Each structure stands twice: as structure tokens, then as C-alpha cells.
Amino acid sequence: MGNLKNRPRFAVSEQAGQRVVLSSADGSRIELFVLADDIIRVLVLPHGELRGPRTWAIAPGQDDVPLEGRDRRDTSGFAPVPFTVSDDAGRVAVETAQIRVTVALDGGFCAWQIRRGGRWHDAMNDRRTQAYNFGWWDERVYHYVERKPGEMVIGLGERAGSLDRTNQSFEMRNVDAMGYSARTTDPLYKHIPFYVTWQPQTSTGFGLFYDTLADCRFDMGRELDNYHGHYRHFIAEHGDLDYYFIASPDTPLNAVRRFTWLTGRPAWMPKWGLGYSGSTMSYTDAPDAQARMSEFIERCREHDILCDSFHLSSGYTSIGGKRYVFNWNRDKFPDIDGFVASYLREGVRLCPNIKPCLLQDHPLFESAAAAGLLIEARDGEPAWVQFWDELGAYLDFTNPQTIDWWKTRVKDSLLRHGMAATWNDNNEFEIWSPDAIARGFGEAFPAREAKVLQTQLMMRASRDAQREHAPGERPFLVSRSGGVGMHRYVQTWSGDNYTSWETLRFNLKMGLGLAMSGVSNSGHDIGGFAGPAPGPELLSRWVAFGIFLPRFSIHSWNDDGTVNEPWMYPETTEVVAGLIKLRYRLIPYLYELLWQSHRAYEPVLRPMFAEFPNDPLCLADGDDMMVGSSLLVAPVVDADRTARDVYLPAGARWASYWSGEIFDGGQSVTLPAPHDRPVMLIREGHVIPLNIAEQHFARPADERAFIALPCAGAGVARGECIEDDGHSEAWRDGVQGKWRIVIESDARCLRIAIERDGQMPRVQNEVRVSVPAADARSVTCTTGELTGERIADGWRHLTLRLAR
């Protein structure tokens, strides 16, 4: 094949539909797919043919992909767009309304430009020295690109360290990183080879997605080699160089939205998945587990802790000191149905832990092995792996018979008892032997070449089991590990974090990185999972941060045997209970944000610079975040702090949720930060829905209200809130409603319009709208009448009666 002296010389050999093919005399190919005005795909084939398997990642605007994967050249789901091809002076240029890619025929190097403001801006260039591997080195996949000064790189899923990945390197190889450092540990649990580059100098950016199932590495400029200039690079262990370039002018959020759309629609999960979920390993590890679980309910009632679910750790499956998926320990749980029913009576659903590996002495091991359900070695024996404290073998989810077996076990062992969900855990599929073979839906391949595919298919099988068991209910699933497309199936969390203040700070950045990689429904183990018990201050600060994330679960396995619970410390129990009630107050907003993620591919959590890319002071790697586009949250992530310095982005005013005080943007302010009042500010021009009903354990209540910061002069503030029954699939048939609120303002008046569209789940004809007390403008309601007004806690609370 090619060598350093004689690199391939390409020419256009084919143009059909949305594809342009360049070929060389020695058989190398570069295929360009024009998929949208803002998305072009590049497929580099040094040997002229595909080496990698089908794709399970690409599902443009769709709920899923075929079980056996999608053909790599399938362009269904992409609407044809006009583009031009020009061949001149040794280069071929492909141009859409937003992207121009120029390919040098000598070597195939690509230069990318993005149109913004009526002119073309340079975005990314392949490195001119050996950008690809045309058989020069080994069988691995390489891509080297030039690195520009001042650019930021964000994404790659959950990564330790700072939010900006520039000058760092990362290995994408899913492992069980128990007790990891959120500042330094790499690799971690997830495999998401996508990142966004933002170039503040030109206010342009782009997303780059490498469609691979292989273990891979990204170097974002940590490596330096005198012969090649400044560069960054991607290396995959096998497969093809197959990447998608996504233009993102004006805002880095466009690349996130389009990548999420490209890889499938996020699951619309039940509303109760936003509630507090209790969990700890100690309860189910105890010999009297059922009794300990009953104590949790009693403590929730005693302290009035709102709770919607409990994650049942794997101790319920134990035989001796080991864990055996789908086995019930009847000594620990003598009355399974009664136990589940006792939780459901209190409105608490159970999410049992399930694992994809059978230990060698599992009661079902021999029958599963005989049926060919396990990943096998080349000699037909199980492909042995280390799993917890024993040897075992992973189930092979590329075998349809395994999928059927798994679904049957999920339904018979768990769902028929009344379990509401599945907690897919320890599913990193740590397979390293080249002799371990996956069946591959009839096209066998080394299992280590697609470990994350097994993870994806496991969670999909669990989802399908829930759908088959209760077709009228929305499935709720959780998975620790995953890859591109996991958002179609599950809620996730950042794994077994170590308890420390440092983890609190860097878990915040980790969650933002995950959201900027297309996975919004996520959270962390509040309080820290592994290591020492959190002290009272750390626990309350972690809760005050966690209540803003889509997943809110307090979970632990502390070294000293203590348990992270809301009532862990008497001096903070009331604070934690109040923070959880604040969480429930915010659930209508979080539910709307998840709907916007499902409907419009919007990230729920946003780094400050992503929401305000033109404010230079937002480029700093701070400890603040936007929850949606309306709410700025500034957690306290250091000990012994009673106040919080916050930079307020320019271009808008901001109102304190707690005091109603209004601040101009473009300045830093110091705000009080008591443990029970996390710093949160509402953005001018935005309206946030709330649940202001008084709620108590096992007595849910819902009353919609809205809090807003109207524009100072002439302008419009807007907000929406999705409404449905919260759990069924009836929304697919249009059984769903929506609140829409618009506040038009001028120097003298606020004109409020509230509309209710669709089928609302409850009747509510009076609505409270709160604006800062300092806003004394007159108020009219164009869709009803103003019936009451009072001022409290710095807010002007307006009661509006709506026309029926």
C-alpha cells in the first residue's frame, strides 16, 4: 500500500446522490456523504473496503436502529440537500450552504470551512504530514488535524478534569473505575467519541464524531512532535476512519443538538424518574434486608422526605458473599411480592440492579453455556473474565437467543413482582482476550472489538423487556456504562465516585461534558459512593448541587460501613429534607427540559460559555452551570463557605430566586449561600414553571405556578411547561397538554397571557405568576383577570384567573 514517499493520489471516481467518491490507483478510497447543510461525513478506506462492523450509533431523528445494526452506507433519514462539487488545481471542493470541504487530491487531506455572517471561516485542517494511516504503520486507525491557538475542546462524554479538554489526552475504554478521582482518573465508564471545538476569535465551532466501537484515544494537544507542528489526533485500535463533521456557527450548542439528533431521539421517561431515588448497598447486603428496607420507608415518613423510587442494590441476588443476577435470596427477602407492594403503597418504585455476567457457579451458568448464550473463546469454552470476586463469563447480546433469554429473566424474576425499572450495572464488558468471540448476529468477530456494543444491546434488551411486560407504560432504565446512542434508552450517572470536595467540583464539570456529548439525563451518586463518609457540610452541599440534575440519587458504599441517607446527620436532616422539597418544586421545569431534550435535542445542562459564547468572561472553566437556558446555578464546592462569588453573563439582567433582587449582567456579585438556599438566578426574558403545592411523603400534590423576570423595558418573556399523566405512553396518541406563558412589557405595563393547549391532566383555572417585587409596573392579563396580589420574600405574587 501507500508509504511516506508515495502517498495516494486521488481522483473523483463516482458521484451519485449524496455521495462523492475519490479513489486512487492503489485502491484507496475516500467517500464524502453530504447528509445536511451542516453535516458532512468522511469515510477513509485505505484498502478500498469496509473493515468495521455495521453502525448502531446513527439514527437521525429516530427512536432506534435495527437490532442487527445499520448498514454503514445507508443514508435513510437524511433529506437530500443541494451541494456543489468543483474539481480544480489538484483539489476537489464539496460545498453546502454552511460547509465547504476541500480535499487535496495528493494525499486526500481535508480543509474545512464554515459559513458565518456571509463569509467563509477556516474551521479545521487535516495535518499536512501523515494525517491518515494508508498502511504506513499498523492496522490501527489514525486521524491527525492541525491545532489552532485559542480554541476550546469540550465533550468526549464523562471525562475527569477540567471542562476544556485542550492539551489533555484521554483513553476511551470502558472500565469499572471504582472510587475514581474526578480530577485525574482515565479511562472511565463511557465510550462517546464526540467533541465540540469552539473558536472564540471567530465565534464559530464544529462537532466531530468518530463512529467507532473500538477502544480509542484522543490527544487534544498534549503530545508535541517537532516534525508536524501543532496538532491533535485520534487513534482507534481497529475498524475504519469514519467521522462526521457538524458545523456550529454562532453557538457550540448547535453541534450538540445536531449530534444528538444524528444519534437518535432521547427517551421520554416517566416523571417519577426525576424524584429522589434512595439507594445504598448496605441495606440489601444486610442479612435482614427486607426489614432494613422497611426502615427506609419509616425514616422517610418520620422526616417527611419526599421519595419516588429506590435503587435496589445487588445484595438481593446473593448466595453467600457473591452476587448472582436474577437470583432472589429468600432468606433476606422472605416475601418478595409483599415487599414490593409495601413500597408501591407509599408511591416508591423499585429499580433492581442487574449485571450481564454469570459467575462460573451461577445456578444458570451451565444451561446458558450449553445454549451458546455466553461469549466464548475460539475453542468453544466460555471466555473467562474477572468479575467481582469470582471468574465468570459475559452474556453475548449479539446473539438474538441471548436477548430473548435476558428479556424472559427480566420479566419473570423482576417485573412480574411489580418492579418498575431496571438498573443495568457493572456493564463495562471488560473483555481483553483476542480469543473471545462474539456471534455478531451471524458475523462473528473478536468480542474486544465492540465491547460497548454489548453494553448498548444489554440496555436495549432490558428496555424491550419492560415494554413487553407493560406496553402502556414508559420504560425507566438506568445504566452505568454506555456509548453513543445510550440516551435512546437510559438515564445514567457518573459511576462509583470517591467522596471528597474535589469530586463535588469535578463531577459538576463531568456532568456538563456528558450533556455536551448528547447525554442529558444524568447525575451523580450524591454524597460520594466510595471512600470515607461525607461530613455534614459536604453532604448538604452535595445535595444542594444534586437537586438540579435530571438524576437525583443518594447512594453509597462507605469504607466505615455508614450509609449516606438524608437523615445521616441530625444537624442537617431538616436542611436536606428542605432541599429535596425544593427539588420537587423544580420538577415541572426539569420535566420541560427533558421534553425539550426529547423533542428538540436540547441539552439540559449547559456550560456558561456554551449559553453565552460571546461573553469572554464565560470562557473561564468555573464551577457554575446553566440548567436549561433560564436558570443559573452556582453550587458551593468548597468547605467553610457562607457566600458565593458569581459572574453574571452580560446581555441580560438576573434575579435571585430567594430574594427577588435584580442584578445587571456583565459583573461579578457575592451572594449569600446558606446550606438550605443554593445560589440560583433567573435570566431576564425567561419564565420558569414550578410546583407550589405543599407536598409530604406518600402524599404527592401538584399546583402549577410560574416565576419570571420580565424584560426591563420593551420586550417579551416566555416560558412553557409540558403536562401529561407522567407515566403512560398515552402521550404518543396526543394525550398531552402544555402551558404557554408570555409576558409582554414596556416602560409602564406587564401584559400577561397564559394559554393551555392540548389535554391537561388536571383542572387549574387559577395560576400564580411571580415577578420581582421591585417591578412595580401595572399588570393586565389578556387571557383572564388579575384577582389577587401580594408581596413576600422579595417577589410580587400575582394571582390570575384564566378564562375557561
- Whether 554 and 653 map to the same domain: the answer is no
Q: Which of 646, 707, 640 is nearest to 675 (CA)?
A: 640
State residue 89's pLDDT score: 86
State residue 298's pLDDT score: 98
Counting Cα atoms < 13 Å in the Cβ hemisphere of 224 gives 4
Among 262, 282, 308, where does a domain finish? Answer: 262
| Residue 668 in domain | yes
Helix (H, G, I), strand (E, B) or coil at 300: helix
CATH of the domain at 171: 2.60.40.1760
CATH of the domain at 772: 2.60.40.1180
Buried b (16+ CB within 10 A) or exposed e, 164-177: bbbebebebbbbbb
**C-beta atoms surrounding 699 within 10 Å:** 12
Helix (H, G, I), strand (E, B) or coil at 707: strand
- Whether 694 and 648 map to the same domain: the answer is yes
Cα distances from 420 to residues 327, 655, 670, 773, in angstroms, run: 18, 39, 44, 44
550: its cell numbers:
435530571
Structure letter (DSSP) for residue 25: T
**Angle ∠(72,52,372) on CA atoms, nearest 5:** 105
CATH of the domain at 392: 3.20.20.80
pLDDT > 80? residue 6: no
The pTM is what?
0.98
| Residue 147 in domain | yes
What integer is the mean pLDDT of 774-790?
97
Structure letter (DSSP) for residue 389: T
More confident residue, 772 or 136: 772
State residue 259's pLDDT score: 98
Distance in angstroms (rounded) separating the CA atoms of residues 176 and 198: 31
Distance in angstroms (rounded) separating the CA atoms of residues 535 and 613: 37
Strand partners, 232: 145
What integer is the mean pLDDT of 2-17?
80
- Whether 440 and 506 map to the same domain: the answer is yes
- Residues composing the chain: 804
pLDDT > 80? residue 705: yes
What integer is the mean pLDDT of 762-768?
96
- Whether 253 and 284 map to the same domain: the answer is no
Among 244, 262, 280, where does a domain finish? Answer: 262
187 upstream amide cis, omega within 30 of 0: yes
| Residue 428 in domain | yes
- Whether 132 and 164 map to the same domain: the answer is yes
Q: Which domain holds residue 186?
A: 10-262
User: What angle do the packed helices 570-600 and 536-546 form, to 10 degrees?
Assistant: 20
The separation between the first and the last C-alpha atoms of the chain, rounded to the nearest angstrom, is 75
CB 28 within 8 A of CB 10: yes
What integer is the mean pLDDT of 734-746?
98
* Mean pLDDT for the chain overall: 96
- Whether 219 and 315 map to the same domain: the answer is no
**Angle ∠(749,752,755) on CA atoms, nearest 5:** 165
What integer is the mean pLDDT of 478-483?
98
| Residue 592 in domain | no
- Whether 289 and 432 map to the same domain: the answer is yes
CB 154 within 8 A of CB 199: no
- The beta-strand segments (E) located in 581-659 are 605-606, 625-627, 631-634, 643-648, 653-656
pLDDT > 90? residue 5: no
pLDDT > 60? residue 591: yes
| pLDDT band, very low/low/confident/very high, at 7 (cuts 50, 70, 90) | confident
CB 654 within 8 A of CB 644: no
The percent of residues above 90 in pLDDT, for the chain, comes to 97
Distance in angstroms (rounded) separating the CA atoms of residues 16 and 356: 44
**C-beta atoms surrounding 64 within 10 Å:** 17
Among 262, 292, 313, where does a domain finish? Answer: 262
SS3 of the chain: helix, strand, coil, percent, to 5 = 20, 35, 45
Total domains present in the chain: 3
Distance in angstroms (rounded) separating the CA atoms of residues 497 and 490: 20
- Whether 147 and 179 map to the same domain: the answer is yes
**Angle ∠(507,263,162) on CA atoms, nearest 5:** 25
| Residue 599 in domain | no
Q: How far is CA 388 from the centre of its chain?
A: 27
Cα distances from 93 to residues 32, 111, 332, in angstroms, run: 11, 9, 68
What integer is the mean pLDDT of 574-591?
98
- Whether 619 and 694 map to the same domain: the answer is yes
CA torsion sign for 440, 446, 450, 456 is positive
- The beta-strand segments (E) located in 326-461 are 349-354, 357-359, 376-377, 385-387, 390-394, 422-424, 436-438, 445-446
Residue whose entry in the numeric block shows the C-alpha cell 453565552: 612
Distance in angstroms (rounded) separating the CA atoms of residues 265 and 721: 20
State residue 335's pLDDT score: 97
- Whether 578 and 620 map to the same domain: the answer is no
Distance in angstroms (rounded) separating the CA atoms of residues 57 and 213: 9
State residue 1's pLDDT score: 34
Q: Which of 175, 180, 214, 217 is nearest to 195 (CA)?
A: 217
| Residue 764 in domain | yes
| Host H or E run for residue 600 | helix 570-600
| Host H or E run for residue 366 | helix 365-370
- Whether 225 and 130 map to the same domain: the answer is yes
Query: In which order are the strands placed within the sheet that holds 385-387?
Result: 357-359, 390-394, 385-387
- Whether 332 and 245 map to the same domain: the answer is no
Strand partners, 39: 36, 246
DSSP 36-80: ETTEEEEEEETTSS--S--BSS--TT-S---TT-B-TT--TT---
CB 277 within 8 A of CB 307: yes
